[in-house]
Amino acid sequence: MSQNGWGVDSYTQRLTQENKMLGALRSARRVELVSKRRIIEDDTIPSDIPQRPLIDILTDVNQCDKGDERKLKDLLTEIGYFLSRYNNTCINANAIHNIAINIIPLLTQQNTSYEIIMQCLMVLTSITYLPYDIFKPLIPLGVFQVVMFYMKSSEIKIVAFAMIAIANAAVESVEVFDYVAQLGFMDIMKSYSTQIPSKLINAYTFAFKTVGIVMNQKKCRDMTTLCQLTPVAVFDIPENTYDESSSFVEDTLWGISFACDDQRCIEFYYQNNVFKRMLLLLRRKRVQIIRSIIAVYKKCLYNNPIICKHLIENRLLEYLSALLMLGEENITTDTLFLISNLVSEIDIYEMVVNSKIVDLVTNKYNSFSVINKREANYMFTNLLSVASDDCIMALVQNELFYSILASMVTQDVKTVRLLLYGIQKVILVGDSYKENGVNIIRDKLNEAGVVKLLEYYAFEINDLEVKKNAESVLVEYFDWNGINNTDLDLNF
């Protein structure tokens, strides 16, 4: 069921907006990963040393005795230092062309040492970190064919730098992605996917996410190639064995989220227990990992009751309840978003209500921010639209529910229609469970201010159906006299 209202038109649009906001996060992760590798030895050149013109550095490279490895290494590192100042106006396509024609011979000649190969790949990684218009000269020079050769090296650290260099370039341009794919980039990745060496994990997962980003940009709906590259083994790596700043788990999760744009990938991950294994990662209490997992679940659970049941049976709702208790703003927003879609599934909502997570949301509602109150409003509106009488009776046992319902102000017409239907259902349940002939539930709604809410919808929303439905509920259940008494303090 689509979620409408509270400022957003549809579930799809909300996902689009979230993806745009998270684009900056993905870019930041890429910059962080690459920036750590721009210069292999940060202390080789002091930060306060004057920067030499690039032409002088390249002249020295060209004239350097290739047997003088120490001097050559220092010169290559100096190029890396030059490139690290990426705001420098001297860094342009012509400069990159000149750097490349001096590096290619070092990578293609026989007996080049490990250290020099590493430094050359470091320089190329720095170059592909730059915008496409600047590093474009690498393509006609055949640089990517050379780098691809080193992706097959027996030295894993060399493979890692080669993989990062190509992934950097691919994420900048769909054209580059298609080009390196034709060269066999993903075929080489696949050869590592089932058993990734520890020194390759960061590079591999970064490249995996990159493939997902570009496929998403290309609007590819056949993402099955991507799911075949999924490094699910990273989920089994103990948390205490990797650095706090490591992002390989998060990168893997983002790659999976992109693959889940294709229903075939969702089925692949379900059959291979990937979604179930992800649940255990929620224990790690890392904000970005948690948000990445929920990004996956938003896609795989939507209109997939079988997967919903599968994860609920494996304690999904317990994990979501724990996330709500963390009190972290963004995690709460994401969690409420997920719950609100779970309760809209006709075959699922009773499992959700019985888990007491809806009661938890009710109890915490007044402590939520405005944004998270709106997310909770989605949940209650969706739930009421499908809820049985028994489910509604469970909801109204919590006295806070009445005031929450009375506060649900929105200007989205579709949502108002759904909400009015839900309010009427609650009142009718009260008619079925009268005490001494009195509809206690209706009276509690009245005390909470639902009449003012209905008056607002009867007078302030410019839609004949909404006006008619709101007035009908007021007249039939609250002996309304037709006067607008609303003085709601609206907060959109």
Q: Which tokens hold the place of 111?
A: 């007996």
Confidence (pLDDT) at 489: 52
Q: What one-character-per-residue DSSP string does 249-280 give? A: HHHHHHHHHHHTTSHHHHHHHHHTTHHHHHHH
User: Is the model's pLDDT at 32 over the cut of 50?
Assistant: no
User: Is the model's pLDDT at 4 over the cut of 70?
Assistant: no
- Residue ranges per structural domain of the chain: 19-183, 302-387, 392-491
SS (H, E, C) 276-329: HHHHHHHHHCCHHHHHHHHHHHHHHHCCCHHHHHHHHHCCHHHHHHHHHHHCCH
Tell me the pLDDT band of 486, cut-offs 50, 70 and 90: low
Confidence (pLDDT) at 223: 84
For range 301-306, the mean pLDDT: 89
Confidence (pLDDT) at 181: 92
- The amino acid at residue 232 is V
Q: What one-character-per-residue DSSP string does 185-243 give? A: HHHHHHHHHTS--GGGHHHHHHHHHHHHHHHHHTT----HHHHHT--GGGGGS-GGGS-
Span between the terminal Cα atoms of the chain, in Å: 23
User: Is the model's pLDDT at 492 over the cut of 50?
Assistant: no
DSSP state letter for 38? S
Q: Which tokens hold the place of 126?
A: 């720095």
Could you report the per-residue pLDDT of 195-246, keeping only the tens digit for each?
A: 899 899 989 999 999 898 888 777 666 788 899 999 988 888 877 665 655 6
Give the CB-side neighbour count of residue 350, counting CA atoms within 13 A. Answer: 7
Q: How far is CA 465 from the centre of its chain?
A: 38
CATH hierarchy code of domain 19-183: 1.25.10.10
Question: Reduced to 3 states, what is the DSSP secondary structure of residue 54?
Answer: helix
Tell me the pLDDT band of 288, cut-offs 50, 70 and 90: confident
User: Is the model's pLDDT at 430 over the cut of 90?
Assistant: yes
Task: Give me the percent of the chain exceeding a pLDDT of 90.
Answer: 60
Confidence (pLDDT) at 22: 44
Nearest C-alpha neighbor of 119 from the set 139, 99, 140: 99
Q: Which of 97-111, 454-468, 475-489 has the lowest mean pLDDT?
A: 475-489
Confidence (pLDDT) at 204: 94
Contact status, residue 224 vs residue 212, Cβ threshold 8 Å: no
